[in-house]
Amino acid sequence: MDLTRFNESLSTYVRPITSPVAIKMVAKEAEIPEKARMPKRDFGVTMPVCQGLALARRHGMIVAMGKEDMLCPLGAVAMGFYPPKTKFMDATFGIPFWVRTQKDAANLLDGMARFDEGRYSAIVAAPIGRAAFDPDVLIVYGNPAQMTRLVQAAVYVTGEAIVSRSTGGLACAEQTAHAMQTSQFQFVLAGGGDRALALTQDDETSFAVPVALADALSDALQATHKQGARYPTRSYLTYGATMPRNFGQLMEYLQEDEE
């Protein structure tokens, strides 16, 4: 696929404020780009996966995160860096916490998209313009109107409604593991951690594009633009407006012939 063309299509038809992020799941440490920053090694801190993505899309960094960089247990298991141990899966520690019962939490975790433990050693995130690797997924953040353009283009490609999952959290799992495992577009709402720690704004949400669909999405953005789907949304401005009564009276006065 052509990353430059994809990025140009987004710039023209979607206009995201922050850079789209290219994601690569790597099996071996040797596959990590030389210029990549790793949170523990380079910053002396651990991070949730969403914070690493934020560094890529907001600061333009190439970021690699492995087992030793993980702060969030949900992302750590979703990326396959740690095993889904019994007390993780049965929600003994009360995580996810935004559910009514431990059983409900366990059900969410049972359905969470995740890679098999040990399949990958790191997740690499880069702003799309700096991605000197073949990505697995491309993630775009934007406002609801911008996401609508991506959904319209995706529907143009598939002819079907976009069916995605949102739980109020676990966004990294949906953006990466679920997108890669299903090879389908994913529209994903940011969760609390994404907003609190990765500074995703209240008006932002995300759209994940499996790389195999990227060229088709580029074509679809152009095609749907030609058919009238636009961002910014085009307002209807050729209507006959009404004005307060005295405005009308003044207009009539101005139109009268002087005696």
Predicted TM-score (pTM) of the model is 0.91
Helix (H) or strand (E) holding 8: helix 3-13
- Count of structural domains, the chain: 1
Q: Which domain does 133 fall in, by range?
A: 3-255
CA–CA dist 175, 172 (Å, integer): 5
DSSP 28: S
Are the C-beta atoms of residues 74 and 173 closer than 8 Å to each other?
Answer: yes
Which pLDDT tens digits describe the chain residue by residue (259 residues)? 789 999 999 999 999 999 999 999 999 999 999 999 999 999 999 999 999 999 999 999 999 999 999 999 999 999 999 999 999 999 999 999 999 999 999 999 999 999 999 999 999 999 999 999 999 999 999 999 999 999 999 999 999 999 888 888 899 999 999 999 999 999 999 988 899 999 999 999 999 999 999 999 999 999 999 999 999 988 888 899 999 999 999 999 999 987 6
